[in-house]
Amino acid sequence: MTKSKITRDTVRKLDQADHLNKFRNEFYLKEEHYYMDGNSLGLLSKRAEHTLLTALQDWKNHGIEGWTEGEQPWFYMSEKLGEMTAPLIGAKPHEVINTGSITTNLHQLLATFFKPDNQRTKILADELNFPSDIYAIKSQLELHGLDPADHLLQVESEDGYTLSEEDIITEMSEDIALLLLPSVLYRSGQLVDIEKITKAAHEKGIIVGFDLAHSIGALPHQLNEWGVDFAVWCTYKYLNSGPGGVGGLFVHEKHTGRKPGLAGWFSSNKEKQFDMGHTLIPAENAGAYQIGTPHIMSSAPLLGSLELFHEAGIESVREKSLQLTRLMMNLIHQELYDCGLKIANPLEDQHRGGHVSLIHPEAASICKALKDENVVPDFRSPNVIRLAPIALYTSFEDVYEVMFILKDIIMNEKHKQYKNERGIIA
């Protein structure tokens, strides 16, 4: 994978040439700590802290008038966040809204787009998806009186870590009404070809949705151009909105005017909302798919966080992310080739998301040892170590340090003192 030996001098030169390096100063980082879990929860930035504190000040100074008179008016915050998010996913502003959580948004869009008839009664997903998505699908099938055992089809994985796009396309039969897939597989980091899959599904008359939890903020998308029908995501990973940060959703403009499957107070056209009529007049944009009152305090940090992405540029973020993960894999090849580790994620840039997945039979105990060495990794059952170097706040030298800490742990069997089982939160 690499010809010349990677040294500390090598990575320091990369940091010196890195034009995104300045963004490290925007985040609260601990000295001599290495945070490699930004694909689970991103770190706090000073901008996000500022916009959260501004929301509190608006509440303090304006009370209920904060909905329209605050520095960050709450009544329009979800739409503003949608506009700020749209460039990251190749969407038009009116196609995006920040609201709810990833799972409630998925329930909303499944309720909106899954309309089984006499021919199409099945949903196509995969066996590697995050459990919450499958729970939602099964719930929606049952609400239609359909048995998930018969009406949920999950594409199988040949290796337990990745999916074949050809296998996905092969499963697109005439009884499939809707397809839901992750853009990046959470366990292995595989990036699927959204455009290819969407095109193939539409040729079969199938509605297409994607879960962008592990891709938004890590790489660019072109959802409008590709014709994706809908997408959902969380914002607390790569977008750094904070624990439980507000979710987001995309609905392609070709579906403008479609009635939300789950109507609620904030589904309304904003000009009509306070008419208090009992017949819903939905918003004529993605706002129609909101349900309840926006969660202002978990939305406000995203205002500041998204500013950083606009300044950095999502293309630059992706370029550095690929460099960081490539460096990590090259160092594994150079320094840890006989340590019992196997790289589970695709090696090719076009098929890799923002994290590296390593397989080891003692992955859980290795992760515990890493934490005691001031490295924060992520363990995924049964045997995966996930390491996510984040473009906005991880340096190339950070990656270098982490790889040598990992080497020391395995070569000197430091992990043997820990039980090889996950904690309550992996």
- Answer yes or no: 275 catalytic: no
**Is residue 133 part of an annotated ligand binding site?**
yes
Query: Phi/psi at 389 (nearest 5 deg)?
Result: -80, 120
Residue count (the chain): 426
130 is in an annotated binding site: yes
Torsions phi, psi of 74, nearest 5? -70, -35
Q: Out of 120, 320, 352, 386, which one is annotated catalytic?
A: 386
Report whether 241 belongs to an annotated binding site: no
DSSP letters for 160-195: SS---HHHHHHT--TTEEEEEEESB-TTT-BBP-HH
The residue annotated as part of the active site, out of 75, 76, 130, 418, is 130
361 is in an annotated binding site: no
- Catalytic, 12? Answer no
The radius of gyration of the chain from alpha carbons, rounded to an integer in Å, stands at 22
Residue 360 is labelled as binding a ligand: no
Residue 104, burial from CB neighbour count under 10 angstroms (0-12, 13-18, 19+): middle
What distances in angstroms separate CA 16 from CA 78, 219, 396, 417, one per listed residue? Answer: 38, 23, 10, 39
Instruction: Tell whether 132 is in a known binding site.
Output: yes
Task: Please name the residues in contact with 391: beta carbons below 8 A apart, sequence gap of 6 or more.
Answer: 20, 218, 312, 316, 317, 318, 320, 321, 324, 354
Amino acid at 361: P
Is residue 130 part of the annotated active site? The answer reads yes
398 belongs to an annotated ligand binding site: no
Task: Find the catalytic residue in 237, 352, 380, 414.
Answer: 237
- Indicate which residue of 37, 58, 126, 211 is catalytic: 211
168 labelled as ligand-binding? no
Annotated binding-site residue? 103: yes
**Residues with catalytic annotation?**
130, 211, 236-237, 386
- For the annotated binding site, the residues are 102-103, 130-133, 211, 214, 236, 265, 293
- For the annotated binding site for pyridoxal 5'-phosphate, the residues are 102-103, 130-133, 211, 214, 236, 265, 293
